[in-house]
């Protein structure tokens, strides 16, 4: 049995089940409640299924890009469970999970997008032919207009963006691209990807201590500090 955690966005979700099969899924009410709400939500999901932590084989987590704080919390909880229970750790890009949730409705290219702040967006493009996962554009940070100019026109754009960030996509939409503005990654879809080729990556036990989410860019507070001081924040050991 596997526990799936999705914490890359404003609303966290938790699911419990087996590869490809969701037994129970719950979303944390309210926005940005991860710090105080994620552990109680995990307990609630386990209780609904009559399960305990001892019943788990592994933990699945979205590894970004997305909310810096949300991803940090999800990774910390996942690592704690892995360390204390000797569980497997698996991860998948949040944009892949977001796109995969729309597969039954789309047979072509799916562009998954999310607000990266400061006028940028996180984006990645996927196809799912015959149940396979093919990456046309890996997750990255883009200016919306540059993204539209540089990548193939998708059949579907999925994400939650402010209206001003959506404006560059008007040409695609006029050309037949569909726009699904409320699509977000979910723990249930993350769980469904387990066992699918290219869906999740196993973090080997020796690498768990060093594994970190792919935040996509520095945290907003760090970016403001670096802009104000004109220099990057240096980490211990000289790394940035």
The last residue of a domain, from among 160, 180, 200: 180
Domain span at residue 162 reads 95-180
Position 80 scores a pLDDT of 97
Q: Are residues 19 and 72 in the same domain?
A: yes
Helix axis angle, 34-48 relative to 68-85, nearest 10°?
A: 50
Q: Are residues 76 and 107 in the same domain?
A: no
CATH number for the domain spanning 163: value is: 3.30.420.40
Q: Are residues 125 and 171 in the same domain?
A: yes
Q: Are residues 223 and 150 in the same domain?
A: no
CA torsion angle for 74, 121, 223, 216 (degrees, to 10)?
40
Q: Are residues 62 and 124 in the same domain?
A: no
Element at 77 (helix H, strand E) = helix 68-85
Position 182 scores a pLDDT of 78
Q: Are residues 192 and 174 in the same domain?
A: no
The last residue of a domain, from among 162, 180, 198: 180
The last residue of a domain, from among 136, 152, 180: 180
As for how many domains the chain has, the answer is 2
Q: Are residues 130 and 78 in the same domain?
A: no
Q: Are residues 114 and 167 in the same domain?
A: yes
Position 219 scores a pLDDT of 52
Q: Are residues 75 and 105 in the same domain?
A: no
Round to whole Å and give the CA distance between 214 and 6.
14
Q: Are residues 53 and 9 in the same domain?
A: yes
> Of 46, 59, 50, 61, which Cα lies nearest the Cα of 86?
59
CA torsion angle for 67, 18, 106, 165 (degrees, to 10)?
-10
**What's the pLDDT tens digit per position in 76-89?**
999 999 999 999 99
Position 230 scores a pLDDT of 52
CA torsion angle for 162, 60, 125, 217 (degrees, to 10)?
60
Write out the chain's pLDDT in tens, 240 residues: 999 999 999 999 999 999 989 999 999 987 889 999 999 999 999 999 999 999 999 999 999 999 999 999 999 999 999 999 999 999 999 999 999 998 876 778 999 999 999 999 999 999 999 888 999 999 999 999 999 999 999 999 999 888 899 999 999 988 889 888 778 999 999 999 998 988 999 999 999 999 999 998 665 544 443 444 454 444 433 333
Q: Are residues 190 and 171 in the same domain?
A: no
Position 229 scores a pLDDT of 42
Q: Are residues 47 and 116 in the same domain?
A: no
């Amino acid at each position: 049995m596997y526990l799936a955690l999705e914490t890359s966005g404003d609303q966290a979700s938790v699911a419990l089940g087996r590869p490809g099969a969701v037994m129970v899924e719950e979303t944390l009410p309210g926005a940005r409640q991860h710090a105080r709400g994620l552990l109680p939500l995990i307990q609630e999901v386990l209780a609904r299924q009559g399960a305990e932590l001892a019943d788990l084989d592994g933990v699945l987590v979205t590894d970004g890009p997305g909310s810096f704080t949300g991803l940090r919390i999800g990774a910390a909880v996942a690592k704690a469970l892995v360390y204390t229970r000797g569980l497997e750790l698996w991860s998948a890009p949040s944009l892949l999970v977001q796109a995969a949730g729309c597969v039954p409705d789309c047979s072509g290219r799916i562009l998954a997008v999310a607000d990266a702040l400061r006028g940028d967006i996180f984006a990645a493009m996927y196809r799912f032919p015959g149940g396979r996962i093919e990456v046309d554009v890996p997750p990255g940070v883009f200016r919306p207009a540059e993204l539209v100019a540089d990548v193939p026109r998708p059949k579907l754009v999925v994400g939650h963006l402010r209206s001003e960030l959506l404006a560059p996509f008007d040409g695609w939409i006029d050309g037949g691209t569909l726009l699904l503005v409320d699509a977000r990654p979910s723990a249930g879809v993350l769980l469904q990807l387990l066992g699918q080729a290219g869906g999740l990556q196993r973090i080997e036990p020796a690498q768990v201590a060093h594994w970190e989410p792919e935040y996509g860019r520095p945290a907003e507070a760090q970016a403001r500090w670096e802009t104000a001081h004109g220099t990057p924040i240096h980490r211990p050991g000289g790394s940035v």
